[in-house]
Amino acid sequence: MGERLGEMLVARGVCSAETRDHALALQREQPARLGGILVEKLGVAERAVAEALAAQLGTPALVLRESALLRKNVELVPAEVCRTEGLLPVDADELTVKVAFTGPPSSRLLTEVEFATGRQVVALVAVESCLKDRLRQLRETEGELLRGEAISPDARVPPGGHLVLIRPAPRAEDSVEIDVDMGPEPLPVDGPTWKTPPKPAEVPPAGSRPRVLVVDDVPELRAMVVRALSPDGYALAEAGTGQEALSQIQVFAPQLIVLDAMLPEVHGFEICRALKRSPAWQHIVVIMVSAIYKGWDYARDIQDVYGADLFLEKPFNVAFLRERVRTMLEARSATTGGAPGTRPDLSREIRDEAHTLLQMGDLPGALLACANGLTLDPFDARLHAIQADAYARQGHRQHAMVAYERALQFAPNSYPVLKNLALLYEQEGLRRRAAAAWQRALEACPDVRMRERIRARLLMELQT
């Protein structure tokens, strides 16, 4: 990757071939990313390297020396983790957190940052040496604002800080390819692309066996927990993925879930957060377990961020888990007497209202209706999609991306959502994510002609 970046910088006239070769020789002596060496040791401009990184990786790049960061955003992830993993949170709102990485982040790292911050990650790329300089500044200063070299001391900085971002330059073929046919797809309220979830099962009558759902993607661990709980007379059900867990929650109506934090398809911590934010589901006791997030518990209390009733690190004592299941079920039964009732058709009525408001152009009203509906049923893919469409029409692309991504968690083969998400990724300069979304859209597309257009688009991307 470093050699390709060096070739791009020489071709752009940013540095000479001799400077590039010198940087490569330094890189062999002391491993570091080539862009950081060029900026820190050989005086190449950070902005020029950032532009090349954005073009190479298809990801927006952050020019740190021209940016002002708020400490409250930077400290969303512990400083030691930032230094170890080579990352820096630079901005956040209630849904997303922008994080600068020194290279393409792994899915593991993205998941861990999402877990720690409770927000969806918007990944940026930054020059390694500049990111390390900011981390040193964080250690050495106590001020709220971490200023870049190009920010004057008396400059007026917006409340969220001041970020200088460079997005990958649009390609000429993109501007002619996105025509009316390739524009945002209308979002139907109903149709074959949506998996209609089953209605929640009836609340078990008083005196019936408590229902416990055990969710873990490792069959041996799942079986171990089931064996441990079986002697206590519970009605037990199992799930091995996030999608299976969502189905079981709606048809089995558990009163308690032993839930692994890291699951395929939909993460356990996202399921927990959705349950605990919904009046229709928040009565469910959630015991979250994890073998991965041991290092993050000091950064964010899982019980505060996601609402879990208990958090256990693997390996845990099975006898202790069994005792906690018993006492927590007894305590919940004594305080609630069962789950609160809700009209099964209420979320559908709200969804229809949100769709009508969207068609009328009342975007604030549509968003309010979506928020109300998702409070009742956080697993309604169509409501998430309508919310995303409203955000997109308002120009809030990042919030729209988050909502589309959540819709895909519950309707992974929805072609309209995949297509709209791919277009949003392209508009935000996220080419790799756009290509992945177009590939999924190709597989889900019901129209032969449109499949050929998407296939041609993907081939064009591979050739650039």
The mean per-residue pLDDT over the stretch 57-76 comes to 90
Contact yes or no for 123/105 (Cβ under 8 A)? yes
Residue 178: its pLDDT value, please?
32
Q: Is residue 299 very low, low, confident or very high in pLDDT (cuts 50, 70, 90)?
A: very low
Look at residue 396 and tell me whether its pLDDT is greater than 50.
yes
Cis omega before residue 378 (within 30°)?
no
The mean per-residue pLDDT over the stretch 161-177 comes to 64
Residue 84: its pLDDT value, please?
87
Whether the CA torsion 200, 203, 209, 214 is positive or negative: it is: positive
Beta strand pairing status for 61-62 and 120-126?
parallel
The mean per-residue pLDDT over the stretch 57-74 comes to 90
Residue 174: its pLDDT value, please?
41
Cis omega before residue 184 (within 30°)?
no
Q: Is residue 2 very low, low, confident or very high in pLDDT (cuts 50, 70, 90)?
A: low
In the chain, what percentage of residues exceed pLDDT 90?
36
The mean per-residue pLDDT over the stretch 285-314 comes to 75
Contact yes or no for 34/98 (Cβ under 8 A)? no
Structure tokens at 440: 């999924």
